[in-house]
Every structure is written in structure tokens, then in C-alpha cells.
């Protein structure tokens, strides 16, 4: 049965992780993996999480299943974080949420749900998009196409080409849009562009699928959800996939959520039965720990305030390094314009380097990034940024 299986190529990022770990260079720099790191290069457990976990250990009295929808209190908190506590869709019982094993689990559940709702739907993703998006939807048997998004020449949004593509998408198809901190480019829609996107969704009749993996990592919790909220005010249906990996630092606890916004509360009941049926067929019940930790944090005024503080510290550190990269490269005599880095948001940026330059950085300097020149800015700190800038300057001048 297994004799005819062929080896599958290693995911580029996972391969990069392995190469970095094996590199003996004490000055090596890892800019490939999309996890937040502090000034010591460590992905620490947030203090608010530690306190919530202590409370969970004290209060937990059972390990029984928590149901297919997961923790109901967590689900409500996630709806309020994303849509706002007074959004009309929430107040009208139009939202249906299931907590999932990470944001990836949310996307896979969404994919299977789309397949049930419209087996002929095509899912449209940005060019480029997160590397796993396409395979997730294809694994559910959905067709996937791309629409224009990032302009590699201007290092900005390919706005007119994007809206020209969106204007051709037929009703019944699904358009994935990143809520904030676009992965991999860091280039987000402005609010005016969100308004234009919303108008096209209404005119064309496609269903928006909003992937919000980094809420709070861009400009702030409410600011990062502004586009989603405007969209939800105008359209009758949408799908939201969210994650607590980054903003709560719960990477290995795998906690996310999928939310379906229906036209009305009666439709939402039908959506719920189908959504939970999808969950049952994939993993049956979600893990409890991460969801209950988040619930403990958001149930507590004190822990919520601590979370806001810690989230702001992570966001501000990343944002400060955007300008610092530009300054350090200029100090190395680099004349190329890197000002686009400060126009981007979140952990990632395209540096615009060639594959040959990226290979040289890896071979000669042990600076690791993916072949697209996407870097995780959180991988930089005060002990390695000068080395990084000197390495980049060297390959640019070669």
C-alpha cells in the first residue's frame, strides 16, 4: 500500500528552521519563522497567560470534552474582540463561532464549510499570500485562484490591478482578505481601500473570508479590526478566521476560532448545525486549555489590562525595528530606498532582495530568510541588527 508513495518536498520555512538549527555560526540570524521574539531572542510566555494558567489549574475539576463548538465563553470573547461588543450582527444573533485548533484549524473548518455551502465555489487569495492558504483550501477539494495584491516594483499595494481583478469575481465565489499585518508582505489595505473592497463585495456578490491572525500586532486591537467591522456593517454574510497564537503568544496551545456571519438569526441556526457537523468530521472536539486561558484573561479587568500592556510592548518593539532597519542600512552606506518598510504592518516585510542575494546571506553570513525575501522583523534585536545590516549591505554592494 505504501510502496508507491513519493517523498513530499519539505515546506520551505520548516526546511529553513532545520538549516538554522544545524548552523554552528554563533552570529546566525533567524528571520524566517513567524513567531514573536523578545530582545533576548526568546518567545516568552506572557505574564497574563501565566496568571490565567495558574487560575485554570486551581479551578479545573474535569477533563471531559467541552463540545464541538468549544468553550462558549471564549467564542463570545472572540466575537467581541473582532466585531466590537455592540456590533449589530452580534446583537442580532447572526454570528456563529466554533473554537478551533489554531488559526490553521479555523481555515480548514472554513474550507469544509464553504465546500458544503457551494461545492463549485472558487476561493480567491492574494498574490502573494500565506504559503499554507492554497494547500488548505485545495485539501478540501476547492478550486483556488489568485488576485493581484502586492506590487514588487513599487513595494506597495497593486491597487488598481487588485480592484480590477475583484471586479471580475462572480457571485458565489469566496475572496480571502487579510484583516491586518498581511502575511507575507506586511502591506495592508487602507480604510479607503476597505471601503472600496466592501462596495465590490456588495456589487459582485462574492463572500468575504477575512483571515485575522495578527489582531493587535499592527496599529491596535480596534484599529486592526476596522476594515472587518466596516465590511460586516455592509454585507449580509462573511466568514472570519482568527488566531490567538500571536497576540496571546499561545503558539503551541493551538487556539483559534472560525466565525460565520449569517443574514439573520434563523439562518444562523442552520449555519450552526452545518458548522458543527464539519467540526465533528475533522477533529470532533477542540482542545480546551488555550481557549479557557484566554477566557480567564478577558473575564478579568486586571488581566485584560495586563494583556493590553504586553501586547502593546510587542507591537511597539516590532514597529520601532522597522525604522531601525532603515537607519542601520543607511549607516552601512546603503543608498537603496528602504522607506517602504515603515509603510508596512505586523511582523513581516519583503526586503526586495534577489534569490542570489538571499542565498549569499545564508551561505556567507548565516542570515536566514525565505526565498521571497520575506523577513520576520521580530527576529531582530540589538545584539544582531548591526550584523544583519552589515551583511545585507555587503550583498547589496557585491
Long-range contact set of residues 79-82: C-beta below 8 Å, sequence gap at least 24: 79/259, 81/215, 81/221, 81/225, 81/242, 81/298, 82/212, 82/215, 82/225, 82/228, 82/240, 82/242, 82/259
Model pLDDT, residue 283: 97
Model pLDDT, residue 131: 87
Q: Is residue 97 part of a domain?
A: yes
Total domains in the fold of the chain: 2
Q: Which residue among 37, 246, 328, 362 is the active-site one?
A: 246
C-alpha 220/C-alpha 212 separation (Å) is 13
Q: Is residue 115 part of a domain?
A: yes
Q: Which residue among 130, 188, 307, 328 is the active-site one?
A: 130
Task: Please tell me whether residues 30 and 89 are part of one structural domain.
Answer: no
**Closest by alpha carbon to 55, among 246, 249, 300?**
300
Number of alpha carbons in the 13 Å side-chain half-sphere of residue 219: 16
- Asked if 249 contacts 45 with a C-beta cutoff of 8 angstroms, the reply is yes
Range of the domain at 325: 11-45+316-397
> Is 71 one of the annotated active-site residues of the chain?
no
Residue 55 CB-density burial (10 A; 0-12 exposed, 13-18 middle, 19+ buried): middle
Model pLDDT, residue 18: 85
Q: List pLDDT tens digits, range 43-88.
A: 999 999 999 999 999 999 999 999 999 999 999 999 999 999 999 9
Last residue of a domain, one of 273, 299, 325: 299
Q: Is residue 58 part of a domain?
A: no
Q: List pLDDT tens digits, range 197-248.
A: 999 999 999 999 999 999 999 999 999 999 999 999 999 999 999 999 999 9
- Asked if 181 contacts 348 with a C-beta cutoff of 8 angstroms, the reply is yes
Task: Please tell me whether residues 226 and 145 are part of one structural domain.
Answer: yes
> What is the DSSP track for 301-326?
HHHHHHHHHHHHHHHHHHHHHHHHHH
> Is 130 one of the annotated active-site residues of the chain?
yes
- Parts of the chain with a pLDDT under 50: none
Q: Which helix (H) or strand (E) holds 209?
A: strand 207-212
Q: What is the CATH number of the domain that holds 194?
A: 3.40.640.10
Task: Please tell me whether residues 246 and 321 are part of one structural domain.
Answer: no
Full-model pTM:
0.96
Model pLDDT, residue 327: 97
Q: Is residue 235 part of a domain?
A: yes
Q: Is residue 290 part of a domain?
A: yes
Task: Please tell me whether residues 33 and 89 are part of one structural domain.
Answer: no
> Is 124 one of the annotated active-site residues of the chain?
no
Q: Is residue 361 part of a domain?
A: yes
Q: What is the DSSP letter of 341?
A: G
- How close are the terminal C-alpha atoms of the chain, in Å? 52
Q: Which residue among 30, 165, 173, 211 is the active-site one?
A: 211
Model pLDDT, residue 397: 87
Nine-digit cell string for 183: 502575511
Q: What is the CATH number of the domain that holds 39?
A: 3.90.1150.10
Q: Is residue 265 part of a domain?
A: yes
Q: Is 366 helix (H, G, I), strand (E, B) or coil?
A: coil
Q: Which helix (H) or strand (E) holds 134?
A: helix 131-139
Amino acid at each position: 500500500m505504501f510502496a508507491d508513495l513519493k517523498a513530499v518536498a519539505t515546506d520551505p520555512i520548516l526546511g529553513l528552521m532545520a538549516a538554522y538549527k544545524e548552523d554552528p555560526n554563533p552570529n546566525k540570524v533567524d528571520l524566517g519563522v513567524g513567531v514573536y521574539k523578545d530582545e533576548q531572542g526568546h518567545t516568552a510566555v506572557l505574564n497574563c497567560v501565566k496568571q490565567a494558567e495558574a487560575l485554570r489549574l486551581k479551578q479545573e475539576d474535569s477533563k471531559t470534552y467541552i463540545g464541538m463548538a468549544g468553550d462558549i465563553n471564549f467564542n463570545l470573547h472572540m466575537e467581541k474582540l473582532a466585531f466590537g461588543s455592540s456590533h449589530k450582527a452580534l446583537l442580532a444573533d447572526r454570528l456563529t463561532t466554533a473554537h478551533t485548533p489554531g488559526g490553521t484549524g479555523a481555515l480548514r473548518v472554513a474550507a469544509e464549510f464553504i465546500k458544503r455551502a457551494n461545492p463549485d465555489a472558487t476561493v480567491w487569495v492574494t498574490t502573494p499570500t500565506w504559503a499554507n492558504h492554497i494547500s488548505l483550501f485545495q485539501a478540501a477539494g476547492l478550486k483556488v485562484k489568485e488576485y493581484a495584491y502586492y506590487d514588487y516594483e513599487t513595494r506597495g499595494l497593486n491597487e488598481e490591478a487588485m480592484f480590477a481583478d475583484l471586479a471580475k469575481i462572480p457571485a458565489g465565489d469566496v475572496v480571502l482578505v487579510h484583516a491586518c499585518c498581511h502575511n507575507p508582505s506586511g502591506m495592508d489595505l487602507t480604510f479607503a481601500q476597505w471601503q472600496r473592497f466592501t462596495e465590490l463585495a456588495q456589487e459582485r456578490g462574492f463572500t468575504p473570508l477575512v483571515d485575522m491572525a495578527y489582531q493587535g500586532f499592527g496599529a491596535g486591537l480596534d484599529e486592526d479590526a476596522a476594515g472587518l467591522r466596516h465590511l460586516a456593517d455592509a454585507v449580509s454574510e462573511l466568514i472570519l478566521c482568527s488566531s490567538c497564537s500571536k497576540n496571546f503568544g499561545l503558539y503551541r496551545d493551538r487556539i483559534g476560532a472560525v466565525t460565520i456571519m449569517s443574514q439573520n438569526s434563523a439562518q444562523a441556526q442552520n449555519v450552526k448545525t452545518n458548522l458543527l457537523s464539519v467540526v465533528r468530521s475533522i477533529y470532533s472536539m477542540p482542545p480546551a486549555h488555550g481557549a479557557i486561558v484566554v477566557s480567564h484573561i478577558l473575564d478579568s479587568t486586571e488581566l485584560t489590562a495586563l494583556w493590553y500592556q504586553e501586547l502593546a510592548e510587542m507591537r511597539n518593539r516590532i514597529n520601532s525595528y522597522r525604522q531601525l532597519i532603515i537607519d542601520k542600512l543607511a549607516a552601512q552606506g546603503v543608498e537603496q530606498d528602504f522607506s517602504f518598510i515603515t509603510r508596512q504592518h505586523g511582523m513581516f516585510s519583503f526586503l526586495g532582495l534577489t534569490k542570489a542575494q538571499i542565498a549569499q546571506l545564508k551561505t556567507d553570513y548565516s542570515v536566514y530568510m525565505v526565498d521571497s525575501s520575506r523577513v520576520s522583523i521580530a527576529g531582530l534585536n540589538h545584539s544582531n541588527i548591526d550584523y544583519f545590516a552589515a551583511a545585507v549591505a555587503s550583498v547589496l554592494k557585491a
